[in-house]
Amino acid sequence: MTKKLLDIEAIRRDFPILRKPLPKGLPLTYLDSGSSAQKPQCVIDKEREVYENFYANAYRGVYRFGAIVDEELEATRERIRKLINAASVDEVVFTAGTTMSLNMVASGWGRRHVKPGDEILINEMEHHANFVPWQQLAAATGATLRFIPLTDDGRLDMSRLSEVLTEKTKLLAVTGMSNVLGTINPIGELAARAHDVGAFIVIDGAQSVPHGTTDVATPGIDFLAFSSHKLYGPSGVGVLYGRKELLDETDPLLFGGHMIDRVYKDHSTWAGPPAKFEAGTIQIAQAIALGSAIDYVNAIGFDAIHAHEQQLMQHAHKRLSEIPGMRIYGPGPEHRGAIISFTIDGTHPEDLAQLLDRRGVFVRHGHHCTMPLHDLLGVSATVRTSFGVYNSQADVDALLDAIQFAREKLRVA
């Protein structure tokens, strides 16, 4: 490999879990960050600090701790705003995660604005979280679900976009980066093309936000959903970004405390966004600690993170390709982010994942919540490796050794 982009050893020291050997002294090779990323010490410390020093409910108490919690939460909201370049903190809603965020758009905005005869445009690489809510919305509203065709190498076939993106299209929902194929989608072009026909664009940023710069302002993303836990932050928290005028016209999914303006015996009125969408007690400590995760990735820098992960993925892609019987799904390295899913002829992904685990290599297997995509690929399951900021070439070496071990055990080597 060429020059060292990041001090990976220093980064790895920030993650306490990576310093702890597994039984038998095996080092941990964590290649499942696409599922959920490990947490740096600063995030763990922040969550603890909230509980140890100033915990109270949010947006309710005027007493000292209540005020600190509010300030900390709003400081995180501001960090998120800057992270995605939103115009206002009122456009940043704390949710339970990407799935919740996408459901909020599909139900809260979709059921109000999507009419019979409208079309909702998705594609077969989408995660079930960005697939099923639209399928349900179409069924509930009489709209039609349509699909952008995929190329043979697992990219959106932009040459055929105009066949399916038409004046009937109300909404285009697409992932920033496929959680299986690693495909990085041309969000800018898609947003511009969607807006050209008067459609809105919803981005599932669960996989893309942790790996590179996100900007909702140019060329204009209407809704964006992502999760804290894939961004080195705590689990249980996510974000829904929506343009202010769209959030104003989105109905809340949950009703209850904090989200109201005034409750009468016979009806109620809502607070403005984001409060309108934050009924009940949010994940207080977790949301605050998400702010620390954002500080952490900002300190390293998304350009450096992206460059490092891409270099690692390219290296892994090349080495994996050399394995006999290896089938890698998705496009070449130039069109993908730090995810590589594969099968090896004569072996089952479940066996591979279990045998890799015996070598301390943690990967995911299965359909990765993309059954339509696996139907298209003609396999019921794949093995997925996904990389984070803390992965190094040594992890790729460990993966290759473990695959060789598994191939021998499964008698294909």
Which positions are catalytic? Answer: 369
Q: How far apart are CA 169 and CA 194, in angstroms?
A: 8
Question: Residue 351, interface with another protein (CB under 8 A)?
Answer: yes
Q: Is the CB of 25 or the CB of 116 nearer to another protein?
A: 25
In three-state secondary structure terms, 364 is strand
- Single out the residue of 82, 350, 375, 394 in contact with another protein (rule: CB under 8 A): 350
- Single out the residue of 354, 375, 394, 404 in contact with another protein (rule: CB under 8 A): 354
Is omega for the bond preceding 21 within 30 degrees of 0, making it cis?
no
Could you say which residues in the range 375-404 bind another protein, by CB under 8 A?
A: 380-381
Residue identified by tokens 């209540």 is 66
Mark the segment that binds another protein (CB under 8 A) among 79-87, 171-179, 289-297, 342-350. 342-350
Q: How far apart are CA 304 and CA 281, in angstroms?
A: 36
On the CB side of 143, CA atoms within 13 Å amount to 27
Q: Is the CB of 184 or the CB of 355 nearer to another protein?
A: 355
Question: Residue 327, interface with another protein (CB under 8 A)?
Answer: no
Residue identified by tokens 């190094």 is 392
Q: Is the CB of 139 or the CB of 412 nearer to another protein?
A: 412
Question: Residue 25, interface with another protein (CB under 8 A)?
Answer: no
102, 133 Cβ separation under 8 angstroms? yes
Q: What stretches of 178-259 adopt beta strand conformation (E)?
A: 200-204, 223-227, 238-242
Question: Residue 348, interface with another protein (CB under 8 A)?
Answer: yes
Question: Residue 410, interface with another protein (CB under 8 A)?
Answer: yes
- Single out the residue of 366, 371, 372, 413 in contact with another protein (rule: CB under 8 A): 366
Q: How far apart are CA 302 and CA 208, in angstroms?
A: 11
Q: How far apart are CA 270 and CA 275, in angstroms?
A: 9
Phi and psi of 224, rounded to 5°? -140, 135
Question: Residue 27, interface with another protein (CB under 8 A)?
Answer: no
Shortest CB 407 distance to another protein, Å: 12
Give me the residues that bind another protein (CB under 8 A), please: 347-348, 350-351, 354-355, 358, 365-366, 380-381, 409-411
